[in-house]
Structure 1
Amino acid sequence: MAVLLLLQSRGRVTAADVAAELEISVATARRDLEALSTAGIPVYPQPGRNGGWQLIGGARTDLTGLSAPEAQALFLLVGPAALIAPDAKAALRKLVRALPQTFREHAEAAAEAVVIDPARWGEHTKERPELVRRLQDAVVRRLKVRLVYAGRGRERSERLVDPLGLVDKDDIWYLIAWTPKGQRTFRVERVVSAELTDEAFERPADFDLSAAWNEIVEQMEVRRSGLTATVLMDERHLWVMQDRLGRHCEVDGMEGDRVRIKVTAPTPLMIAQHLAGWGGSIEVIDPPSVQAELARLGRELAARYSGIV
């Protein structure tokens, strides 16, 4: 992309120009230019003293389809990765230098607009686990992986999988893979070992990691939302409840000066645990099972701390 952007902004470049701008060898630059031509991009070499590589007819059209807003979006997304991945920082620097001058200022500003620091307070750095890096390598290289996996409450099992992609969900890594029993999701922290094999696999052409993960999340949320409780609370505190429960808290209307909400969880106890800290500032209308769990929790707390004034 950087080489193509250089061609678009300058019209004609030599392999030496590309090497100097992108901090690569002349041989690598020449191979990249030849690769563009082989890929069908209208780029051709012109021999001679003032020769070089240029777009056919001197075209300066945006062959990447990258507009100024799209360039900003690209750098806004990739820029935060520079803190974690030095390679990303080097790639961004090369792309910025290859952008047309009119794009550069806003692209650089977008790249520096956001910093994502994955380390918790007290930690100097946050590196991806070695197992995640190994699985990522398998995903990129399209190599089957022999997993030893310890599922929740199950004995260890060994299986040969096609790794399709990795997802980081709230600092917990998941592997989405194809198995003889179909697509499965593995929690990486439960992977005992992962051995890359020499056997390649073909990734399904229609597989979309983001879409696959969204479907998994929806299925999980359905399983986690087996019970719904109707709750009344002051509207001014609604944002706190929504912040804590996310999609498990939905507004269902108003009753007088209080808002009616629906709170979901797999069991009455889990709903009660979410709501117990609100004390008398909320009222559970139904179901009786959640009311009973709240009453039980109240009796337990009263009995434990009854002697404290």
Structure 2
Amino acid sequence: MRADRLLATLLLLQHREQVTAAEVARELEISERTARRDLDALGMAGVPVYSVRGRGGGWRLVGGARTDLSGLTSREARALFLAAGPASSVTPAVKAALRKLVHALPEPFRAQAEAAASSLVMDPQRWGSSRVEPRPPRFLDELQDAVIRGVQVRLGYIDRERSETERTVHPLGIAAKGPSWYLVANTGAGRRTFRIDRVSSVDPTGDPVHRPDDFDLAESWRAIADEVERKRTPVEARALCVPDGIGVLRMGFGDRLDVGGATTDGRIEVVIRGHDEYKLAGELAGLVAYVHVTGPPGVRDHLASIGNVLVERYGTDVGPRRSGPRNSG
């Protein structure tokens, strides 16, 4: 992380005509001793930095802060801060260091760097069981550019019925969900989500995006993903689960499991969502040691039917009980 600190210190020097070790320490959340060592290290590395002693002293760059020592272009600054998005794969420490740099970037870059840092959310949970690795769709760069610059676009879009439409949208952010990429945008009909691989054209209008003051991309995407998941799994089974079984249910059902409160006998109320009653009953059939399904009646009827078939097929074949797992060798 020292390289990140040195770059952050250098950009602070560039942005401010003079800094003290205490200011660097406060800005980068390090000790003053570490800040002084970093400032000395910049000088030893050949950076034209010098100290001004006495009252009102500090550290300065030779020639002042007018020279752009960062070497970053506007596009490079945006790319840098895309890595610091709220749900990217970089470590929290790297995210924090990159975000600190925004305060020291040259003024023309700062607004777009801040926009880039909040333009993308990566959702690791996939829809269903897809294992396809995400590939950036054709118009991803153009749409992300529109989000960062805050401009409306004329969007060509092909829906699931293969009908093509065109509309003007206000891009607010982009989300990656497993292999799929989505644009979150405001439209004349309200907020909408568009699969970017279905976008057929992108034409920036130059008009500014009307962005709600309280909009948060991560929160908005969570609400969108939750709504989609509930539509994909409309059936809800209610059950009582022994405490030791909650971990098993979490592993098996993930976001499809809602855990409630404890009952008087110590069991825990749970709700499990599924695609249809029969499939959900099949998933629950192997968990009878942990859960007692209380509803709906359709799921219970399917469980009983599955149980009857199992007894009919295997009931007469049951041999002596084994105390441990069967040796496959």
- 2:186 is aligned to 178
Please tell me whether residue 13 in structure 1 is matched to residue 61 in structure 2: yes
Aligned partner of 2:241 in structure 1 is 233
Q: Deviation string for 1:25-72 (max 9, x for gaps)?
A: 9xx9xxxxxxxxxxxxxxxxxxxxxxxxxxxxxxxxxxxxxxxxxxxx
Residue identity matched to 1:203: V
User: Counterpart in 2 of 1:135?
Assistant: 143
Given the superposition, is the C-alpha separation of residues 11 and 267 from structure 1 closer, same or farther in structure 2, using an over 3 Å criterion? same
Does residue 272 (structure 1) correspond to residue 281 (structure 2)? The answer is yes
Segments of 5+ residues of structure 1 without an aligned counterpart are 29-73, 83-87, 100-115
**Corresponding residue of 2:205:** 199
The alpha-carbon distance between structure 1 residues 199 and 256, as it changes in their structure 2 partners (threshold 3 A), is same
126 and 229 in structure 1: CA distance in 2 versus 1, 3 angstrom threshold: closer
- Greater fraction helix: 1
Alignment match, 1:31: none
The letter for the 2-side match of 1:158 is: T
Give the whole-Å Cα distance in 1 for the aligned partners of 2:89 and 2:16: 22
The 5-angstrom pairing of residues 208-223 of structure 1 reads 208-210=215-217, 211-220=219-228, 223=231
1:241 Cα shift? 0.9
Post-superposition CA distance 1:153-212 (Å, at most 9, x none): x232222232222112344322112333232112234x1x43221422321242514243
Q: For 2:176, which of 157, 163, 168 is the aligned residue?
A: 168
Matched length = 229
Decide whether aligned partners of structure 1 residues 165 and 24 sit closer, same or farther in structure 2, where only a CA change above 3 A counts: closer
In the aligned structure 2, how far is the partner of 1:229 from the partner of 1:236? 19
Contact preservation (8 Å) 1:148, 1:159: yes
Closer, same or farther in 2 for the Cα pair 1:138/1:95, shift >3 Å? closer
Residue pair 1:161, 1:179 contacting (<8 A) in 2 also: yes
Task: State the alpha-carbon separation in 2 of the partners of residues 188 and 302 from structure 1.
Answer: 50
- Measured after TM superposition, the shift of residue 231 of structure 1 is 1.6
Matched, 1:260 2:266: no
What does residue 282 of structure 1 align with? 291
Contact persistence 1:21–1:94 (CA under 8 A): no
Letter in 2 for 1:4: H
Q: CA distance change for structure 1 residues 158 and 250 in 2, over 3 Å: closer, same or farther?
A: same
Which shifted more, 253-262 or 1-10?
1-10
Equivalent residue letter for 2:61: V
Contact map agreement 2:155 2:166 (CA 8 A) in 1: yes
